[in-house]
Amino acid sequence: MERTQYRRKQKKPAMPPIGHLLLLLALIAVVLVVCITLARKAEVPAEDPQTPESGGAETQAPLPKGNWKPIEMPEGSLAQGDLVLVSAARGFEPSASLVTVYSQKTDSYFVKDTELSVDSRIMLPLNEWMDAFREATGIDNVNIVAGYRTKDYQQKLYDNAVTTKGKAHAESYIALPGHSEHHTGLAVDLDTYYADTGASGDFDGRGKYAWVEEHAWQFGFTRRYPENKVHFTGIAYEPWHFRYVGIPHAYAMKQNDQCLEEYLEFLREHPFTADHFFLQCDGKDFEIYYCPQNAVVVPEDRPYTISGDNIGGYIVTVTGLSA
């Protein structure tokens, strides 16, 4: 009889399902991530005195190198200084410390009448400018025909231009009363005068007379209404009209081919709290920056001048660089 063999079925050791292992590993990973995140949030960063506090208001950038102090500007000073903008959009109340040109001029040029006046600040550079022109060219027949104007006189000029040449011409060449640069006393108009005949002629700035515009910056003057800037100034080309803005600014405007409107916009891109505008001219270093009208800051240890822009702020011009 054949013997039947029976095999006992052996039990395999119990093994956890693979899904359970994966779940366990995922839970461990989540716990690690949560712990690391909480630990990082718990860290307190060291205080940095140069880092502005965050919040809804604007933050103050670190001060530029040097010693600085805030100052308060007197009422009305926004419309005072060499860089005030006077235009169709920016009115100006006539205000200047006046002198008559005839009483202080040199013999290098003529003046239309004995009562024509300008701001006293420009008398010396005006004389030096005309003296240098005569020395360079031998010409001494430049004639100052306009300087400071009252609002009443400006109104008469405008009305006369409308009557004789039409409103379109008047609006292109004659500013409305209260909107003329001549109210500042910082602007002059030129023509030519021939003493032997008593005749006068327009100043077109050509030929030898081109020297006047080319070197105007050396004496702080700029041709205010260039031919290629009518879309900025709103005034037609006037080769005879010059405005005093100060040497560093006249130089910068000439180098960058800017009219006053463009230059003031350029300076607003250089506020006190950001990069300043540095310039070398006339053998000196200049540091120039813009300040809003309620936040004017000046150096404590270097000479400076301040001009309002008649818009909403001030231009600070510092002579020399900080140590």
**Considering 191, 214, 244, which residue would you say is the last residue of a domain?**
244
**Considering 244, 267, 283, which residue would you say is the last residue of a domain?**
244
**Considering 244, 260, 290, which residue would you say is the last residue of a domain?**
244
Helices 247-255 & 260-268, crossing angle to 10 degrees? 100
Does some domain include residue 188? yes
Question: How does pLDDT run across 14-64, given as a tens digit for each residue?
Answer: 455 565 555 566 566 655 655 555 555 444 344 333 333 333 333 344 567
**290 and 201 in a common domain:** no
**214 and 104 in a common domain:** yes
Does some domain include residue 203? yes
pLDDT above 70 for 11: no
Does some domain include residue 202? yes
Q: What confidence tier does 234 reach under pLDDT thresholds 50, 70, 90?
A: very high
Does some domain include residue 177? yes
**239 and 188 in a common domain:** yes
Q: Active site includes 238?
A: yes
Residue of 213, 238, 261, 287 with catalytic role? 238
Reported pTM: 0.79
**Residue 236: both structure tokens together:** 């037609």
**77 and 193 in a common domain:** no
Question: How does pLDDT run across 145-204, given as a tens digit for each residue?
Answer: 999 999 999 999 999 999 999 999 888 889 999 999 999 999 999 999 998 898 999 999
**235 and 252 in a common domain:** no
**Ramachandran angles phi, psi of 135, nearest 5°:** -65, -35
**94 and 71 in a common domain:** no
**288 and 213 in a common domain:** no
**127 and 97 in a common domain:** yes
Range of the structural domain that residue 310 is part of: 62-83+247-323
Distance CA 314, CA 76 (A): 12
Question: How does pLDDT run across 103-160, given as a tens digit for each residue?
Answer: 999 999 999 999 999 999 999 999 999 999 999 999 999 999 999 999 999 999 999 9
**146 and 116 in a common domain:** yes
Burial of 190 (0-12, 13-18, 19+ CB in 10 A): buried
**295 and 310 in a common domain:** yes
- Number of domains forming the structure of the chain: 2
Distance CA 209, CA 89 (A): 32
Position 49 scores a pLDDT of 35
Q: What confidence tier does 320 reach under pLDDT thresholds 50, 70, 90?
A: confident
Of residues 192, 221, 37, the one with CA closest to residue 119: 221
**76 and 152 in a common domain:** no
How many degrees, rounded to 5, is the angle at CA 150 between CA 145 and CA 155? Answer: 90
Mean pLDDT of 67-92: 96
